[in-house]
């Protein structure tokens, strides 16, 4: 079984690349973030032609999350039970579904903007709501039930997950508060699957999933590992490979994120 997560940064802008990537890599389940799509603009028919059912949660403009699956798609849940609002709006940042006997969430954690900003507190509140949702669902399903949180967490868990930790002094994504919030999910029994840098098992480059679009960020290696796969031990034990599809970040008009792919036996 192959499960992947990808911040596509606009399905409309990336649709030909997205469909080609799906046809080439053949994920059983793909979780997407920052779709920037509405119900009416979501490409249901194009995905169906490739054999995928889909569930989308978005209102256009920013945000938007989705799950597509060719191994079943049921028990769809939009939003976290205690998800916080920002400026009075519950943003479409979380969608869960059961696919092929695995409970999965596609997540787009708020950026945080800057330390001390209201958006930063919103980010921490979102991660707390995610921890509560995860704990409640896993109690109901049983801790051995295959379970995964995947998506753009906008948090680099370790110093080596950013291209230069000194460049992030005083900035978001690497603060103790954010890292502690993500670590709490691991303390609840989820494993952070550390990927290799590409499909090549001998690739020793840093396994970043995001690179700045400006100033030749990809070419200069100015990257971060902020797209994560946090899975139950029952899934982690069956993982055969976790890797970043760097090739999807190349060429004209890519997303600033590359897909994170997990293969299970």
Residue 208 in contact with residue 198, Cβ under 8 Å?
A: no
Three-state secondary structure readout of 26-87: CCCEEEEECCCCCCCCCCHHHHHHCCCEEEEECCCCCCCEEEEECCCCEEEEECCCCCCCEC
What's the rounded mean pLDDT across residues 86-111?
98
233 φ, ψ to 5°?
A: -60, -30
Task: Label residue 62 by pLDDT band (50, 70, 90).
Answer: confident
- Structure confidence at residue 177 (pLDDT): 98
Q: According to the model, what pLDDT value does residue 247 have? A: 95
Cα 226 to Cα 162: distance, rounded to the nearest angstrom: 9
State pLDDT tens for residues 141-181.
999 999 999 999 999 999 999 999 999 999 999 999 999 99
pLDDT digits (tens, 9 = 90+) for 108-130: 999 999 999 999 999 999 999 99
Query: Is the pLDDT assigned to residue 61 strictly greater than 90?
Result: no
96 close to 77: Cβ distance less than 8 angstroms: yes
- For residue 94, report the phi and psi dihedrals to the nearest 5 degrees: -150, 130
State mean pLDDT over 17-45: 97
Mean pLDDT of all residues in the chain?
Answer: 97
Q: Tell me, what's the pLDDT at 215?
A: 78
- Find, among 235, 76, 93, the residue nearest to 151 by Cα: 93
Identify the band that residue 213 occupies on the pLDDT scale cut at 50, 70 and 90. Answer: confident
On the 0-12 / 13-18 / 19+ scale of CB atoms within 10 A, 45 is: exposed
Q: How confident is the model at residue 70 (pLDDT cuts 50, 70, 90)?
A: very high
Bridge-based pairing of strands 227-232 and 190-192 is antiparallel
CATH code for the domain in which residue 75 is found = 3.60.10.10
Domain that holds residue 148: 2-264
Q: Which of 256, 248, 258 is nearest to 215 (CA)?
A: 256
d(CA 114, CA 117): 5
When divided into structural domains, the chain yields a total of 1
Is it the case that residue 186 has pLDDT exceeding 90? yes
Region 186-200: mean pLDDT is 96
Tokens of 164: 């230069």
| Count of other CB atoms within 10 angstroms of residue 102 | 23
For residue 93, pLDDT beyond 90: yes
- In this prediction, residues 216-223 reach a mean pLDDT of 91
Residue 194 structure tokens: 């550390």
């Amino acid at each position: 079984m192959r499960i992947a997560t990808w911040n596509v940064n606009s399905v409309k802008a990336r649709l030909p690349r997205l469909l080609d990537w799906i046809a080439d890599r053949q994920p059983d389940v793909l979780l997407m973030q920052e779709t920037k799509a509405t119900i009416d603009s979501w490409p249901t028919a194009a995905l169906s032609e490739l054999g995928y059912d889909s569930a989308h949660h978005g209102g256009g403009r920013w945000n938007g999350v989705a799950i597509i699956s060719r191994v079943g798609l049921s028990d769809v849940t939009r939003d976290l039970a205690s998800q916080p609002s920002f400026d009075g709006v519950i943003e479409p940042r979380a969608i869960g579904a059961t696919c092929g006997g695995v409970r999965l969430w596609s997540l787009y954690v708020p950026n945080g903007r800057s330390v001390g900003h209201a958006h930063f507190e919103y980010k921490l509140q979102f991660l707390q709501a995610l921890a509560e949702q995860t704990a409640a669902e896993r109690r109901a399903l049983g801790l051995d039930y295959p379970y995964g949180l995947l998506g753009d967490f906008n948090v680099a868990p370790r110093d080596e997950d950013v291209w230069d930790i000194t460049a992030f002094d005083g900035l978001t994504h690497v603060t103790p508060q954010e890292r502690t919030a993500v670590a709490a999910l691991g303390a609840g029994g989820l494993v952070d699957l550390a990927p290799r840098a590409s499909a090549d098992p001998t690739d020793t480059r840093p396994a970043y999933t995001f690179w700045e679009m400006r100033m030749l960020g990809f070419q200069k290696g100015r990257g971060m590992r902020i797209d994560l796969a946090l899975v139950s031990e029952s899934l982690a034990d069956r993982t055969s490979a976790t890797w970043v599809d760097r090739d999807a970040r190349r060429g004209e008009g890519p997303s600033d994120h590359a897909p994170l792919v997990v293969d299970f036996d």
